[in-house]
Amino acid sequence: MENDERLLRLLALKRCEKPLPGSLDNVVTEFHRRLRHEEIRRAQSSPAVLWSRLMDALLVEPLSLLRHVATGAAVAAGVMIGLGTLTLQKPAGAIPAVAQSSLRIDLEPSDDAAVRALVPARADALSLEAMADPDLGRQLARPLVPEPHAMPVSFDEANIVF
Amino acid sequence: MSSADALPSPAAPAPDRTKSPDPPQEPDESLVAKVQSGDTSAFDQLIERYKGRLYATIYHMTSNHEDAADLLQETLIRAFRAMPRFRRDARFSTWAHRIAINVTINHLRQNKRRATLSLDQMEIDPNELDSIRELLSEQSLRPGEDPEHRLANLQKILNESIQTLSENHRAVVVMHSVQGLTHAQIAEVLGVPEGTVKTRLFHAHRLLRKKLARHLKEL
């Protein structure tokens, strides 16, 4: 006898097993008892209702739930791909809008001290750079002349008002 | 004790428990329609009709009568709750079995960490003993060994082997090799393609043959 056939005959023995005596006698009664108990429990606890519905969906209609999840995932993937495509369409060397602005800040010579007070570390660094590089030192030492179309600028301590 | 007491298979007709001829049974579809229109007593009839088969399916997967009784109740409650959403294009029995399988698989996964198995002592239907003895050849029995004792041992080993299968493999083995469902019926119950059922069954049988190799040779 081949092992396959032996295995099938062995498995078929399980058909001869029987439930414990009386174990199926009160199934309906027990069903109604549990149903009543669960209804009371559900009425008392709303999170349990949500959980039970989720479990119902998982255990009773898993394919339906799977379809909903798959649809949601497909929509989310579509949105992500759409956003990704829009991002990729931007030119690689694009300059940020702020950097493209024609706005310029021109400082009065008297403002130099105020700028240094606002950014002391940078100012010190510039001084050191100026000491090391005579050209840079000369540029920094040159008085700043306002351009004709420059917007007026005023400094009010930490608040810059245009 | 009669053969009608043995755990019925879903493919087999419901056992005839009465001496007098049964009145014609109300079709499942009619009972389902009644339940969906609010007649809960119709669900009681469906329970009576399918409790044995559902219990058998659950029991063969868990090998534990207490768990089987508990999971049968959970199955019935979930089925009752889901009745308003049950579409009548499927058979009630198939749908109820799907719920039973899902509830059982969920239970088995939740209890996977249990180190010990709770295998019940099996009771064998005496009417089936003759056919069972056929399985046990004379050579398989040790001198002086009682065939029934030998059978009980075999069943214990068989159930332990089934318990080591994954939930999905166990479900197809129980439905096909124990309960006699066809591949198509199992596919319908599990909601998977027939090819998946065949693949799972092939792997499950291979695993069982490996585990039971020594005992199969003795048969």
Report the CATH number that the domain containing residue B93 is assigned in CATH: 1.10.1740.10
In 3D space, the residue among A24, A14, A59, A17 whose CA is nearest the CA of residue B176 turns out to be A14
pLDDT tens, position by position, B138-187: 555 566 667 677 777 877 888 888 888 999 999 999 999 888 899 999 99
How many residue contacts between A and B have a Cβ separation below 8 Å? 135
Same domain, B146 and B184: yes
Same domain, B107 and B155: no
**CB spacing of B6 vs A17 below 8 angstroms:** yes
- Mean pLDDT for B46-52 is 94
Long-range CB pairs of B158-164 (<8 Å, 24+ gap) are B158/A10, B158/A11, B158/A13, B158/A14, B158/B212, B159/A14, B159/B63, B159/B119, B159/B122, B160/B117, B160/B119, B161/B208, B161/B211, B161/B212, B162/B60, B162/B63, B162/B208, B163/B63, B163/B117, B163/B119, B164/B207, B164/B211
- Look at chain A and report how many structural domains it folds into: 2
- Mean pLDDT for A68-74 is 86
Q: Give the whole-number percent of chain B exceeding pLDDT 70.
A: 73
Q: Pull the structure tokens for residue A128.
A: 């050191």
Same domain, B132 and B114: no
Query: Which residue among B48, B60, B73 places its CB closest to the CB of A14?
Result: B60
How far does the CA of residue B115 sit from the closest CA of chain A (Å)? 24
What pLDDT is stored for residue A93 in this prediction?
53
- Mean pLDDT for B208-213 is 88
* Contact assessment for residue B167 and residue B111, using Cβ atoms and an 8 Å cutoff: no
- Look at chain B and report how many structural domains it folds into: 2
Q: Pull the structure tokens for residue B199.
A: 């693949």
Domain-located, residue B205: yes
CATH of the domain at B185: 1.10.10.10
Q: Which domain holds residue B171?
A: 127-219
pLDDT tens, position by position, B7-47: 555 544 444 444 555 667 889 999 999 999 999 899 999 99
Domain-located, residue A79: yes
Among A9, A59, A68, the strongest candidate for a mutation testing the B interface, having the largest count of B CBs within 10 A, is: A59
Give the whole-angstrom CA distance, residue A148 versus residue B84.
Answer: 81
Domain-located, residue B2: no
Residues in A whose CB is inside 8 Å of some CB of B read 1, 3-4, 6-20, 23-24, 27-28, 30-31, 34-35, 38, 52, 55-56, 58-63
Domain-located, residue A5: no
Between A116 and A20, where is the model more confident?
A20
Give Cα separations from A97 to A101, A105, A151 (angstroms).
7, 17, 19
Domain-located, residue B84: yes
Between B4 and B10, where is the model more confident?
B10
Residue of A nearest to B120 (CA): A20
Same domain, B106 and B30: yes
What pLDDT is stored for residue B3 in this prediction?
41
Residue of A nearest to B9 (CA): A15
Give the whole-angstrom CA distance, residue B75 versus residue B69.
Answer: 10
Q: Given pLDDT bands bounded at 50, 70 and 90, which one contains residue A15?
A: confident
What pLDDT is stored for residue B119 in this prediction?
45
Task: Tell how strand A159-161 and strand A154-156 pair up.
Answer: antiparallel
Q: Which domain holds residue A151?
A: 104-161
Domain-located, residue A55: yes
Domain-located, residue A2: no
Residue of A nearest to B170 (CA): A11
Among B57, B178, B202, the strongest candidate for a mutation testing the A interface, having the largest count of A CBs within 10 A, is: B178
